[in-house]
Amino acid sequence: MPVLPSASLTRPTMTSLKRLFLIFLLFLAVLLGFIIRMQINNGIKDSDDVVTSSRSSRKSNPSMQNDNHIHHKEAKNQSVSEIHFSCEVKNQKQACSSNLNQNSPPLEDEPVACPGFFRWIQDDLRPWKASRISKEMVERGKPMADFRLVILNGRAYIESYRKSFQTRDIYTQWGILQLLRRYPGQVPDLDLMFNCGDKPIVKAGDYMEEPPPVFRYCKDNNTLDIVFPDWSFWGWPEINIKPWEALLKELENAGKKVKWEDRQPFAFWKGNPSTSSYRRDLLRCNVSKTKEWNARIFAQLNSEGYDVIQIQKTKKLNVQDWDAERRLEFRNSDLARQCDYRYKIYMEGVAWSVSLKYILACDSLTLMEKSQYHDFFSRGLMPLLHYWPIKNEELCKSIKLAVDWGNTHKQQAQIIGKAASYFMHKGLKMDFVYDYMLHVLKEYADLLNYQPSIPPNAVEYCSEAMACPARGLEKEYMMESFVKFPKNSSPCKLAHPFHLNTIPALVQEQENLINKESGGGGN
């Protein structure tokens, strides 16, 4: 007969089980509360896309590499009304609306951190920190400017001095108008001069004090021009380059179509070699019967030019007739189709080149010369992190060594290419292009020591006045880049500016990396 457990033994066991069950329920409740709290925090803090520049993260997680923290939050469903305009006026000379919305929508979240290259804004404006900016200083920049921009109460007034090359001025002005639509009521009153040329012109050595503040697309270490996003972010109709937002998606898709290992194992460059001596030197690096420099060079030149005949006779290059290409609407110059090479070469032209952002955006490893000029974002690029430096003095040899290294160190080459592409797709989205514009204009306006007024010969500009008379691709690109909604989240938050002793150290670090690796090789 089996022996049953006594009551004295059974009761404590049942009690223990009940206690364990209650503890388990309490644990589940705490865990559930923690999960809910984390979900709420994730919705607020925007922690999905972060690029970290620490040396350890550069080595361990290349897809998250950058020079600073770059936060990006995908656009939410817009809860604000869409902005419309009509082109119904018969003569197409559209007047600007008298009812201009200056009310920002309610902001839905805390601002995210701006990309690291925003910190250069304060350095660009440093020459005027002590003296501030007077009206006389601004007007001394008039001989250098293509147009003068005054913003008053959210309205833009432009006084034109001379026509820029192609539609550079038009699309720069269009971009500023879209900024006003994106951030209504947030762009302060200001007065500035803008030059749309290639080379910076405000030479530091010409001014002991109070240099004229002039905005433009690039600068170098010896000039004081204030850098600003270039016109091509809103389109370049003369050569059929779409606005950046649409083109960036095409480049991303193109980068996914052909795996890096399946791309042609050469360095690709296409462009106009007549704009700089280094580009002309690059022609010697093309493949020939006796030399293989691992480069595939395509020259784009006008068919009537002497250079084309000479190049075809002596260099045996792939020469693209730019006039014929224009007649074919640039079918053979699709930037998204240039992602089928493992390596792409960046060479400056007359000054900096807008091609840099397209070259960096499709996962190919960029081979970059030591650049003299920089635009608003390129100061955030680091050698061996975002690109492979090459030597101008031994250009062909340097290209060959870099390609040989990449083809034998495929994983490392892909890591650098992907880091650059990530920088473009996350750190240079139009969200951050507009935020850079807003911040540099705000910081500039804070330095003005006078209240701007409308110049006598200025004309009010608005989106409808520019887009309605436009035709063809010029109008198409304007409508494609037209801002339909004001942004319902805050612009990114600026980090503290660089300390004066930080900049030389940063520049020296870049120099050391370039000098170490620009001959090719690596480990």
What pairing do the DSSP bridges indicate for beta strands 318-321 and 295-301?
parallel
Q: How confident is the model at residue 495 (pLDDT cuts 50, 70, 90)?
A: confident
pLDDT recorded at residue 66: 41
What pairing do the DSSP bridges indicate for beta strands 147-152 and 190-194?
antiparallel
Transcribe 179-230 into DSSP letters: HHHHSTTTSPPEEEEE--SSS---BGGG-SS-PPPEEES-B-TTB--EE---
Q: Tell which phi-psi region holds residue 463, choosing left (phi > 0), alpha (psi between -120 and 50) or beta.
A: alpha
Determine which of 26-30, 233-237, 430-434 has the lowest per-residue pLDDT on average. 26-30
Q: Is 382 helix (H, G, I), strand (E, B) or coil?
A: coil
Do the beta carbons of residue 247 and residue 323 sit within 8 Å?
Answer: no
Q: How confident is the model at residue 10 (pLDDT cuts 50, 70, 90)?
A: very low
Q: Tell me the C-alpha distance between 124 and 126, whole Å.
A: 6
Q: Report pTM.
A: 0.80
- We find that the CATH architecture of domain 239-374+378-427+508-517 is 3-Layer(aba) Sandwich (3.40)
The DSSP symbol for 268 reads: E
Q: Is 233 helix (H, G, I), strand (E, B) or coil?
A: helix
Domain ranges of the chain: 70-230+434-492, 239-374+378-427+508-517
- Whether 312 shows a pLDDT value over 50: the answer reads no
Transcribe 90-138 into DSSP letters: TT--PPPPS----PPPPP-SPPPBPPGGGGHHHHHTGGGTTT-B-HHHH
Do the beta carbons of residue 252 and residue 339 sit within 8 Å?
Answer: no
Q: How confident is the model at residue 86 (pLDDT cuts 50, 70, 90)?
A: confident
